[in-house]
Amino acid sequence: MGLNGMKNVVGIGGCAQQHGTVYTAQGFLAALQTADVSLPLHTQLQDYFTLPLSPIWMDSSTEEYCERLEEKIGSEELCNRTGSRAHARFSVHHIHRMVNESPELYESTERVLLVSNFLGTLLTGKYMAIDFSDGSGMNLLDVFRRSG
């Protein structure tokens, strides 16, 4: 049945935090698009995440990556470009940590999403873009050019 069960839905409200990252494994989107609506979604998708637990804003394990970024770019320049200094809760630092400490997991990742656009992805069955307001709180977005 897939997502066709959604055709009668008129509206959905949702809330998801900005500073959390979800790492989908290869085949996630295909599994989502062919999910059986009569079965729990979490059981059908459980094998399609690179990390079983998503790092969130309370994870401060990325301090060294914040320091590296500010040393490389300069804290003032980073703030000028992205609107913020480096903070451990920002997604870019969690991604950077994964690339450096678990490169094999990163290589098997189909997409890195914020919790906010992950919710939209679940609801639409296609990868949703990161909202500019969320992207500006990651140290990835050049806020003046609106690009990464």
Domains and CATH numbers, the chain: 19-135 (3.30.420.40)
With b for 16 or more beta-carbon neighbours within 10 A and e for fewer, the 20-51 pattern comes to bbbbbbeebbebbeebeeeeeeeeebeebbbb
pLDDT digits (tens, 9 = 90+) for 86-124: 988 888 899 999 999 999 999 999 999 988 889 889 988
Query: How much is the pTM?
Result: 0.83
pLDDT digits (tens, 9 = 90+) for 19-55: 789 999 999 999 999 999 899 999 999 999 999 888 8
Q: Are 68 and 92 in contact (CB under 8 A)?
A: no
